[in-house]
Homo-oligomer: A and B are copies of this chain.
Amino acid sequence: VGMTMTGVLEDRSAWSATGWCPVEKAMGIVGSRPAMLILREAFYGTTRFDDFVQRVAIAPATAASHLRVLEEAGLLERRSYQEPGARRREEYHLTESGTDFLPVMLALFQWGRRHTDTNPPITFSHTGCDAPVSTSVRCDAGHEVGLADISAALDC
């Protein structure tokens, strides 16, 4: 059963109620300002608790809470480490699941830059190749596709 994306919905009744939607699940984890911005910071290389607090500009309790959620959801992992002679420290690092979130983050960044009034003077480019980096929607054959060219099929 295949039909254009705009139209497949009529085939299923209230799938939101079933809890089947990955988007919904994802929003439960990263669907808040603090969570998303903590993740943004993680992509920028932030690993320390206090840095998250300051750079996201949130309360310590909020940071602790969301860091825990992100850790439990598997996006971040907590690492205790101890430099010789120094005392013990904690760090938060992106896991594979966390780095896998990059397309979402970059897509969101791009969308915001294009459709809001924020346009920070920063460019992301491919190391070595130096060409600018962006997210795109493509089929496995390599064609870039828009919404109108996507069909949704229920595998039933």
Contacts and interface: CB of A to CB of B under 8 A. Distances in A.
B23 A27 contact: no
Contacts of A111: 22, 26, 100-101, 103-104
A59 interface: no
Contacts of A6: 43-45
Interface string A13-53: 01111011111111111011100110011011110000000
Contacts of A20: 118, 120
A146 B103 contact: no
B103 A16 contact: no
A118 B45 contact: no
B100 A114 contact: yes
